[in-house]
Amino acid sequence: MKFIENGSVTTPAGFTASGYHCGIRKSQKKKDISLIFCEKRCAAAAVYTRNLVKGAPLTVTKNNISDGYAQAVICNSGNANTCNADGVEKAEITCNVLAEKLGIDKNDIIIGSTGVIGQPINIDAILSGINPLISTLSKDGSGAAEGIMTTDTVKKSFAVEFEIDGKKAYIGGIAKGSGMINPHMATMLCFVTTDVSITPALLHEALVYAVNRSLNMVNIDGDTSTNDMMSVMASGLAGNKTITEKNADYELFRDALFALSVKIAKAIAKDGEGATKLIIAAVRNCKSEECAEILADSVVSSSLVKAAMFGADANWGRVLCALGYAGEDIDVSKINVSFISPAGKTDVCKNGAGIPFSEDIAKEILSCDEITIDIDMQSGDAHAEAYGCDLTYDYVKINGDYRT
Q: What is the pLDDT of residues 59-86, one digit of tens each?
A: 999 999 999 999 999 999 999 999 999 9
| Catalytically active residues, by annotation | 187
200 or 214, higher pLDDT: 200
Identify the pLDDT of residue 394: 84
The least confident of 313-317, 340-344, 397-401 is 397-401
Identify the pLDDT of residue 403: 60
Domains of the chain and any CATH numbers: 2-270 (3.60.70.12), 278-400 (3.10.20.340)
Mean pLDDT computed over 248-264: 97
Identify the pLDDT of residue 404: 54
Residue 184 has pLDDT above 70, yes or no: no
Identify the pLDDT of residue 148: 93
- Structure confidence at residue 188 as a pLDDT band (50, 70, 90): confident
Mean pLDDT computed over 21-26: 91
Other CB atoms within a 10 A radius of the CB of residue 5 amount to 6
Residue 401 has pLDDT above 80, yes or no: no
Q: Strand 344-350 and strand 336-341: pairing? A: antiparallel
